[in-house]
Structure 1
Amino acid sequence: MTSTKPTLCWGRYQKKPRAILELRSRKLLTDEIQPPPPDSGDVAAADTPASSQPPPKRRKLSPSARSAPVSGDSTASDTDEGSVRVQKNHVAAGIGKSPTRKTDQNSLEAAGKVDNSVVRVVRLAWFTDSLAKGKVLPVDDYLVYQGRKKAPALSQSLPKAEDILKRAREDHTGSRPVSRDRFRHGNTTQHPRLAHAKRPHLDQESTSERERATRLPPIPDYLHNEYSCQRPAPLSSPNCAFIEQLKKVRTLRTLEDDQVGIRAYSTSIAAVAAYPYLLSSASEIARLPGCGPKIVELYKQWKENGYLDDVQEAASNPKMKVLLLFYDIWGVGAKTANDFYNRDWRDLDDIVEFGWNKINRVQQIGVKYYEELQEKIPRAEVEEIAGIILEHANKLRNGFQMVIVGGYRRGKASSGDVDVVLSHPDSDSTKFFINDIVTSLEKARYITHTLTLSDKNSERGQAPVAWKGDDRKAGSGFDTLDKALVVWQDPKWDKAAASKNPNLHRRVDIIISPWKTAGCAVVGWTGGTTFERDLRRYCKKAKRLKFDSSGVRQRGDGGEWVDLESDADGNPAPDMLTAERRVFENLGLEWRPPEERCTG
C-alpha cells in the first residue's frame, strides 16, 4: 500500500496559538491532536466542588452582576511573531515515520499508511539544522503544534438555467411536492445545529448604496502600515460605539481562553480606531487591515441592531454573568475567574463564605474593596494623588521628575487606577528607591495595603532586561522595573462630619526608572494594549531589537544595550518627555502624542 505523508509547516515562532493563527490565515483549519493522558498515578488531584450542600450564606456583599464586559487598560503584550512555511504531501520519509503522538501513529501504522490529514508545525530550527547536518532530522524535538485537518464545508454547484426555469414552472402549477420530512428527519439529523440556527443576515443593498461604495474616502497611507504603533489612534474615534462592542466580545474571548481570538480582535479594534471616518457600509470596513469577513459580519449585525449578538447573549447567560463579576475583582484573571466558577462559587458571598482561606491576599483585598475599586478616578483626583507621590519623593531625595502615564495620559476623563513613572538624573537615587517611597507614604497613611513590591531592576544593577535568544522566553515583563502596586486612601477627612474615613480606596501603581532608560519606561507605560504589543513586534521584526520598559537590547551580538535617549554627543536627555521623543526618533517611528496611542 502506498504511504502518504503528513503536511509539515515551519516558521519563526515558538507558541502553539501563533501556529494555529498562521494556519487559520491560510484557510487550513485543524483540530488539535492531544497527547495521550499521563499515568493516572502521576496526576495530581484536581479541585472538585464539595458534594455536600454548602451551609447557609451570610449577608450579601456582591452588587448585581454587570451585563457586559469592560475592557482593561493593560499594556502587557506577547512578543512571538513570525511567518510560516507550508510543505504539503512531499515531506521526506524520515519525517513521516517519526511519531510525536504514539496513539495516533500506531493506529495509522496498523492501517498500513500514514494519515495525510495530520498537520505538524515545527520551529524553523528544524529546517536549518537539517540543512546543516545534510539530512532530514526527526521533528519530535522541534514540534510546536500538531492537528488534524477539518473537512472543508460542502459547496453547492451553481444551478443551471434550465433547472431554475423548470422549478419555476412547477411552483407556478403547484405540481412540485414539498416534503416536510426532508427537514424534520433529514438535514437536522445530519446537522443538528440547524434546528436552532440563527436566521442568516440578508443583505439589502440599494443602488444608492452601491454608488456610495464607489465614493468611499481613500484609506489613509498610515493604515497600510503593519504595526499599530505607526498609526494615529485618537481617543475620540468616530466609530467608538462599534469599537466598544468589539472590546466586549474580546473580553468574552479572554474568559474563554481563546488566545487566537483575543489577538485577532485586538488587531481589528486597532485598525478601526485608526480609521478617521465614520463607517457607513460593510464594504468600507472590509478595506481595513485586520478586518476580515468575521468583522464585516459583526459590523452588519451592529449596524442593524445597535449591538452584537455575543454581547447580548452574554448579558443573559448566567455563567458569563458570574465570570464577568469575578473577572472584575482586582487580582483575578480569566483563568482564576473560571476556577472560582468551577468551585461552585456564584457571587462574592460564596468567595467569603467558602473560599476566603483558598484565595491569596491580593484577591482578598480585591474582594473586600470590590465596589470602591470599580469606581473610576476623575482626572483631578489622579493629579492630586500623583502630586503627593512626587512631593514625598523629593522630600526623600530632591530632583525627582514624574510623568503620569496610563489612560490618564492618553486623555481619558477618568481612570481605573493611577500609574506614575518616577526618575532621577542620579542613578544612585533611583536604586532601591521604591522601598523608601512606599515606606514614606505608608507612614503618612496614604498607602493602606501594598499588594506587590518589586525591586528586581535594582537587584540586577538597573540594567535593561537581558535578551535570552529568540528561542527562550525572556519573561512576562512584570518585574522589568522597580514598582509598587498599592491601595491608596486619602487619610484626611472631616472627623466632625463622619467617624469613619469616607474617602474611596484607589488603586495606584508607582514605577521607578533609571534616568538612562526613562524614555522607554514612559513609552512602555503610556500606550494602549495593542500599541505596546505592536511596538515590541516592530522592534523585533523591523529593527532586530528587544523593546522593554526597562530599555532596549540588540537581538544577537551578545544582546548589548542600545542607547536611544542620549544625544549625538552622548549627553542624557534633559527631561523624561524629551527622552520619550528620542525613543520614537531613534526607532524610526513618527512621533505619536499619547492621545493618538488609544488602540484599545
Structure 2
Amino acid sequence: MAPKRAGARSPSPSLSSTASPVRRPPRRAKTAPGILASYRLFILHTKLAHKDISELHDLAEKADADLVSSPDEADVVVTAIGMRKRLERHIDWNLAKTKALVTPDWLRDSVEQGHPLPCTDYAALSDLKEATEEHCPRSNSQSAVTALSKSGSLSTSSRPPSRATHTPPAFLLPPSKPPSPVELDHTAHFCCSRASPLVCPNQALCAEFDILRRSRALESNERSALSYARAIAAIKAFPRVITESERRDVQKLPFIGTKVFQMIDEYLFTGHIAEVEEIRQSERFASLSLFASIYGIGPTTSRKLYDLGLRTLRDLEAYYEVDASTPVEHSGSADMDVRIALGLRDDFQQTISREEVEAIHATIMDHLNAVEPGCVSTLVGGYRRGKPSSNDVDIVFTHPNKTSAKGLCTKLVERLRSAGLVKYVLHLSSFHEHDALRTAQWDSLEKALTVYRPHNGLHRRVDLICAIPETYWTSCYWVDGWNYVREGLKDGREIDWAKMLMQSPLSTRRRDSKLFYPRSEKEVFDIIGLPWVDPTLRNTDA
C-alpha cells in the first residue's frame, strides 16, 4: 500500500457528527498482534468519531501497544488534528515537538501491513514533520512479531508466555504522572465541576448545615435533605472564609436559596443557627442518629424502633437479643446484619488509619494474586479523597482478562474465609448484564461486603468490588462522596453523568444506548465534557 503524502490527513468527523466516514476497514487476516509492543501510544480523541476511537483502541490492543493516559508519556501521538492552533488547545507546542504526531491511518496501515510504518509519511502536522521523523521509535519489526503458543495464547519473543510474569495493560494502571490540574470555577452549577477540599475555609458552617441534612434524611424528607446537601457542596467549594463583606458573592452561589442564605446570615451574626441547636437537643434526633449508625438500620427502621420506645444501644441489644460479650453466630435470620453490627459495634466505632487501610489492602492483594495473578486494584472511598481515617475499607479490583475477572470476587472471599481473615459476609452479588432501562446502574460489578479481621486485630468493614476491565475506571467512583455521586440526577445530559459515577458502562447517547468504556479516569471526564477534578477535591460532603 502506498504511504500517504507528507502532511496529509484523513478528515475525521466531530464527536457530534452522525455521518459515517468512508474508510477501508482493516483486513483482520493480516493483523499481526505484537508489532507495536515497544511503542507507547496516546490517542487524542478530539475530532475523532466514537466509532473511530473504539477502532483505534482495538487496533492498538491487537498490536500490543502500550496505551498511555497522557501525551507526555507517549512516544507516538495519534491525532486527527492538522492545525497548530487547534492542537495547542490539547498539547503544549514544546511538548509536541518532542513526540511523533501521526494521523490515525498510520496505526491502521501499520497493523494491516504487519509492521510499524515510518512515521514521517503520516505526519499529522506539516510543521512537525521533521520532529515526527526524529522522534519516531526505531524498532526491529522482527523482534516484535508474535506467535501462538501451543496453548493458543499470544506471546512475544521479548515477553515469553509465563504465569510468573503478569504485566497489566497500561490503561488499567494509574498514570505515572497525574493529569494536569485545571482552574475550576467555584460557582459552577454542578459540584462535580467544582473543587471541594477535605477541609474548607467554612468547615464549621458546613457542619451546622449537615445537622439539618441528617435530620431531614432521618425523617425521610429526601427533598429537603438533598437541598441542604447541595448547599453544603456549594459552600465547600467557596474559596474564602464567608464574612459580612462576602455575603453578596455567597448569595450568587448555586443552590443557596433565600432560607439557606438567611441561616448563613444568622450564623455570621450569632455564631450558631437556632434550628440546629434545637435539633442537637432533641432526644428523637439523638436516638434516630444512634440507631442509623448501626449497619443494616436505615431511617425507616430507626423511626419504627423509636416508635416502639427504644432509645439507647442497650435497648437495641435487648430488642435484637444481642449480647456484646458473646460472638454472633450465623442464623440465617433477616436481622443478621444488624445483630452482627451490634455485636461488633465497639470495633466498628474505632476509625481505621490510612496506614491500617494500606496494610489491609496489601494483604488482600496478596491473596487476590494468589487466586488469579496479574490483578490490579484501587483503594477508593474516603481514603482516596484524602481522609486521615476511615470507617471502612473500599477496594475496587479487576483482572486484565475479562473471563478471569468474572467470579473473582467470590473466589477471593472464599480464600479470605479459609485464611480466617473474613468472619462474616454481609452481602455477595455477581455480575449483571448492562440494561439501558435500569434506573439504578450497578452493572458489571461483583460485590462482597464483608467483616474482615486481621489476626489479633479489630473487626473492620471491608467492601470488595470487582469490575470487568472495561468498566474499571468508572467503578473507581465507588463511595466518591454521597453528593458527588448523587449530583446530576436532574434531567437530560446530567442523568448520564450519574450513570457514569454509579459504576455503569458509560452511555452518552440516548438514541441507541451505545456503551463506551473509558481507558483512564481522566477519559471518563473527557468523554462527558467535565473538567478534571482530582480525587482529593471531591469532598462535597460535610
Q: Given the two structures, how large is their TM-score scaled by the length of structure 1?
A: 0.55
Alignment partner of 1:302 is 2:267:
yes
Alignment partner of 1:483 is 2:447:
yes
> Where do residues 27-106 of structure 1 align in structure 2 (5 Å cutoff)?
none
Q: Which amino acid aligns with 2:421?
A: Y
Alignment partner of 1:389 is 2:342:
no
Aligned mate of 1:378, from 353, 368, 374 = 353
Q: 2: distance between equivalents of 1:382 and 1:556? A: 40
Q: 2: distance between equivalents of 1:347 and 1:221? A: 45
Partner of 1:345: 310
Partner of 1:582: 523
CA separation of 1:544 and 1:279: change in aligned 2, threshold 3 A: closer
SS of 1:275's equivalent in the other structure is coil
Q: Which amino acid aligns with 1:287?
A: K
Aligned mate of 1:292, from 253, 257, 260 = 257
> Where do residues 102-501 of structure 1 align in structure 2 (5 Å cutoff)?
222-281=185-244, 282-356=247-321, 360-455=335-430, 457=431, 460=432, 463=433, 465-468=434-437, 474-477=438-441, 481-491=445-455, 493=456
Could you tell me whether the CA contact under 8 Å between 1:330 and 1:370 is conserved in 2?
A: no
Could you tell me whether the CA contact under 8 Å between 1:467 and 1:555 is conserved in 2?
A: no
SS of 2:364's equivalent in the other structure is helix
1:289 Cα deviation from its structure 2 partner: 1.3
Could you tell me whether the CA contact under 8 Å between 1:404 and 1:421 is conserved in 2?
A: yes
Could you tell me whether the CA contact under 8 Å between 1:545 and 1:554 is conserved in 2?
A: no
Alignment partner of 1:597 is 2:538:
yes
1:316 Cα deviation from its structure 2 partner: 2.1
Could you tell me whether the CA contact under 8 Å between 1:376 and 1:414 is conserved in 2?
A: yes
Which structure has more RCO (C-alpha within 8 Å, separation ≥ 6)? 1
Alignment partner of 1:527 is 2:480:
yes
1:304 Cα deviation from its structure 2 partner: 3.6
SS of 1:271's equivalent in the other structure is helix
Could you tell me whether the CA contact under 8 Å between 1:446 and 1:489 is conserved in 2?
A: yes
Q: 2: distance between equivalents of 1:534 and 1:545? A: 7
Q: 1: distance between equivalents of 2:253 and 2:529? A: 24
CA separation of 1:539 and 1:370: change in aligned 2, threshold 3 A: farther
Larger Rg belongs to = 1
1:354 Cα deviation from its structure 2 partner: 3.2
Deviations 1:200-219 (A, max 9, x none): xxxxxxxxxxxxxxxxxxxx
Aligned length: 346
Q: 1: distance between equivalents of 2:231 and 2:487? A: 13
SS of 2:487's equivalent in the other structure is helix
Q: 2: distance between equivalents of 1:221 and 1:488? A: 39
Q: 2: distance between equivalents of 1:507 and 1:428? A: 28
CA separation of 1:545 and 1:333: change in aligned 2, threshold 3 A: closer
CA separation of 1:505 and 1:539: change in aligned 2, threshold 3 A: farther
Partner of 1:198: none
Partner of 1:217: none
CA separation of 1:437 and 1:366: change in aligned 2, threshold 3 A: same
SS of 1:222's equivalent in the other structure is coil
1:227 Cα deviation from its structure 2 partner: 1.3
Alignment partner of 1:556 is 2:497:
no
Alignment partner of 1:509 is 2:470:
no
Could you tell me whether the CA contact under 8 Å between 1:410 and 1:526 is conserved in 2?
A: no
Could you tell me whether the CA contact under 8 Å between 1:237 and 1:276 is conserved in 2?
A: yes
Deviations 1:385-423 (A, max 9, x none): 111111111011110011000010000001111001001
1:371 Cα deviation from its structure 2 partner: 2.5
Could you tell me whether the CA contact under 8 Å between 1:536 and 1:546 is conserved in 2?
A: no
Which ranges of structure 1 fall in alignment gaps of 5 or more residues? Answer: 1-219, 469-473, 494-502, 566-578
Alignment identity in percent?
29
Could you tell me whether the CA contact under 8 Å between 1:546 and 1:554 is conserved in 2?
A: no
Which ranges of structure 2 fall in alignment gaps of 5 or more residues? Answer: 1-182, 323-332
Could you tell me whether the CA contact under 8 Å between 1:400 and 1:424 is conserved in 2?
A: yes
Could you tell me whether the CA contact under 8 Å between 1:454 and 1:479 is conserved in 2?
A: no
Q: 2: distance between equivalents of 1:403 and 1:488? A: 18
SS of 1:586's equivalent in the other structure is helix
Could you tell me whether the CA contact under 8 Å between 2:487 and 2:498 is conserved in 1?
A: no
1:245 Cα deviation from its structure 2 partner: 1.5
Q: 1: distance between equivalents of 2:516 and 2:537? A: 26
Could you tell me whether the CA contact under 8 Å between 2:444 and 2:467 is conserved in 1?
A: no
1:221 Cα deviation from its structure 2 partner: 7.1
Could you tell me whether the CA contact under 8 Å between 1:232 and 1:592 is conserved in 2?
A: yes
Q: 2: distance between equivalents of 1:317 and 1:546? A: 38
1:467 Cα deviation from its structure 2 partner: 1.2
Aligned CA-pair RMSD: 2.3
SS of 2:242's equivalent in the other structure is coil
Could you tell me whether the CA contact under 8 Å between 2:486 and 2:498 is conserved in 1?
A: no
Q: 2: distance between equivalents of 1:544 and 1:327? A: 29
Could you tell me whether the CA contact under 8 Å between 2:186 and 2:239 is conserved in 1?
A: no
1:308 Cα deviation from its structure 2 partner: 2.7
CA separation of 1:509 and 1:542: change in aligned 2, threshold 3 A: closer
Q: 2: distance between equivalents of 1:542 and 1:312? A: 36
CA separation of 1:516 and 1:328: change in aligned 2, threshold 3 A: same
Q: Given the two structures, how large is their TM-score scaled by the length of structure 2?
A: 0.60
Q: 1: distance between equivalents of 2:362 and 2:527? A: 31
Q: 444-453 or 278-287: which moved more? A: 278-287
Partner of 2:150: none
Q: 1: distance between equivalents of 2:466 and 2:349? A: 26
Q: 1: distance between equivalents of 2:294 and 2:367? A: 30
Q: 2: distance between equivalents of 1:545 and 1:355? A: 37
Deviations 1:13-37 (A, max 9, x none): xxxxxxxxxxxxxxxxxxxxxxxxx
Deviations 1:356-398 (A, max 9, x none): 4986111111111123212111110011111111111101111
CA separation of 1:418 and 1:311: change in aligned 2, threshold 3 A: same
Q: 2: distance between equivalents of 1:526 and 1:596? A: 14
Q: Which amino acid aligns with 1:515?
A: P
SS of 2:451's equivalent in the other structure is strand
SS of 1:483's equivalent in the other structure is strand
SS of 1:290's equivalent in the other structure is coil
Aligned mate of 1:518, from 472, 478, 484 = 472
SS of 2:236's equivalent in the other structure is helix
Q: 2: distance between equivalents of 1:390 and 1:245? A: 40
Q: 1: distance between equivalents of 2:479 and 2:337? A: 25
Deviations 1:120-174 (A, max 9, x none): xxxxxxxxxxxxxxxxxxxxxxxxxxxxxxxxxxxxxxxxxxxxxxxxxxxxxxx
Could you tell me whether the CA contact under 8 Å between 1:393 and 1:400 is conserved in 2?
A: yes
